[in-house]
Amino acid sequence: MAKGEGYRVVLLASPRGYCAGVERAVEVVRAALRLFGAPVYVRKQIVHNAHVVATLAREGAIFVESEEEVPEGNVVVFSAHGVSPAVHARARARRLRVIDATCPLVMKVHAEARRFASRGYTLFLIGHAGHEEVEGTMGEAPERIKLVQSAEEALEVEAEDPKRVAYLTQTTLSQDDAEEIIAVLRRRFPSLVGPPTEDICYATQNRQDAVRLVASRSQLVLVVGSTNSSNSNRLVEVARRAGARAELVEDASAVNPAWLEGVDVVGLTSGASAPEYLVQGVLELLARAGFNRVEEIRVAEEQVSFELPAALKERALGGIAEGPAARLATGAERGVAPSEPAPAAPG
């Protein structure tokens, strides 16, 4: 449907929203609350979404900035973005019961960092300073990893042995930015090696591919996500590069009606940490503004899911022996309305 045919259309990107790592991390907190009882401490935002954090806080989670704020001996969940070995060591020293909700795809990057560092490589980590995932990965080998945030920095960065260099990337980067930076590093360091498989994860890639296509046919693209969500910010950038105006919105209340003036085709997507009910809220707002046709633009099917951490499964098995009340169930098995509307399946 195109501008000028008398319709106001929403092009809904797919995949969008929750990835398998976020789905699992949110479920980890809920399972910990069921198995251990409130309060359960969570180090940092479990995923970068203000609505999810507020909902879990209402259910009994206490969010803290540091493991050192958790009273000794208590249960603490580490967020989906991963932590450095130093954080694990401090948690051990405080005798905390750790449940690690680090996404398995972030763990893969940590393992690559350890492997390259143990073989004496200088590692260029392509990512954004201050992001928790970057802090966690750098903590695996702080003496060997150099953060590279841009093509300009790639022109300047040095290596102890230019023949023994490797790169890794944050999982939520823009594919275009990463390729540009890797190309500069390759020109400067012809021996550069990379990870065996791409670090930018399947969910990041699929959401960027979908929004690129949607943006090429839209005048305005709305990305539902929080301002501290790396992958949501990258979706805004990808949409802009594809030629559309693009705005990041926390939820429907953040949509400025003035943005919709003179617009007939709006693209809509959401970051990997944004629950689907927030997208539905924006769709309702757009419907009230006359955008009554919704067309889904799907670029990939996602079937990825991750198991819960072993620490929870073991506790759950113990719980079955003690009685059914402690049984570990998935959200679907619970069959009760969660205090937030049920998230969509991954993707």
Q: Which range of residues in 98-106, 153-161, 285-293, 335-343 is near ligand SF4 by CB under 6 A?
A: 98-106
255 in contact with ligand SF4 (CB under 6 A): no
Cis before 39 (ω within 30)? yes
Residue 193 carries which DSSP code? Answer: B
Residue 81 makes CB contacts below 8 A (sequence gap 6+) with 44, 48, 102, 103, 106, 131, 132, 133, 136
Catalytic residue among 133, 135, 140, 250: 133
Cβ nearer to ligand SF4, comparing 137 with 218:
137
235 in contact with ligand SF4 (CB under 6 A): no
228 CB-contact burial (10 Å; exposed 0-12 / middle 13-18 / buried 19+): middle
Cβ nearer to ligand SF4, comparing 9 with 80:
80
Residue 338 makes CB contacts below 8 A (sequence gap 6+) with 30, 55, 331
Work out which of 56, 61, 106, 268 binds ligand SF4, going by CB under 6 A. 106
Question: Dihedral sign, CA of 110, 114, 115, 120?
Answer: positive
Work out which of 19, 53, 220, 239 binds ligand SF4, going by CB under 6 A. 19
Q: Which residue is nearest to ligand SF4 (CB)?
A: 21
174 in contact with ligand SF4 (CB under 6 A): no
**Applying CB under 6 A, what is the total number of residues that bind ligand SF4?**
15
Work out which of 10, 32, 80, 248 binds ligand SF4, going by CB under 6 A. 80
101 in contact with ligand SF4 (CB under 6 A): no
How far, in Å, CA of 158 to CA of 142, rounded? 15
Cβ nearer to ligand SF4, comparing 204 with 270:
204
Work out which of 9, 10, 13, 22 binds ligand SF4, going by CB under 6 A. 22
Closest CA to 238 of 280, 189, 200, 193: 200
Work out which of 272, 282, 286, 328 binds ligand SF4, going by CB under 6 A. 272
How far, in Å, CA of 67 to CA of 45, rounded? 13
Question: Taking a C-beta distance cutoff of 8 angstroms, is the pair 315, 35 a contact?
Answer: yes
20 in contact with ligand SF4 (CB under 6 A): yes
Cβ nearer to ligand SF4, comparing 231 with 269:
231
Give the Cβ contact number of residue 326 at 10 Å.
17
84 in contact with ligand SF4 (CB under 6 A): no
Which residues in the 193-232 window bind ligand SF4 by CB under 6 A?
201, 203-204, 231
151 CB-contact burial (10 Å; exposed 0-12 / middle 13-18 / buried 19+): middle
Binding site for ligand SF4 (CB under 6 A): 19-22, 80, 103, 105-106, 171-172, 201, 203-204, 231, 272
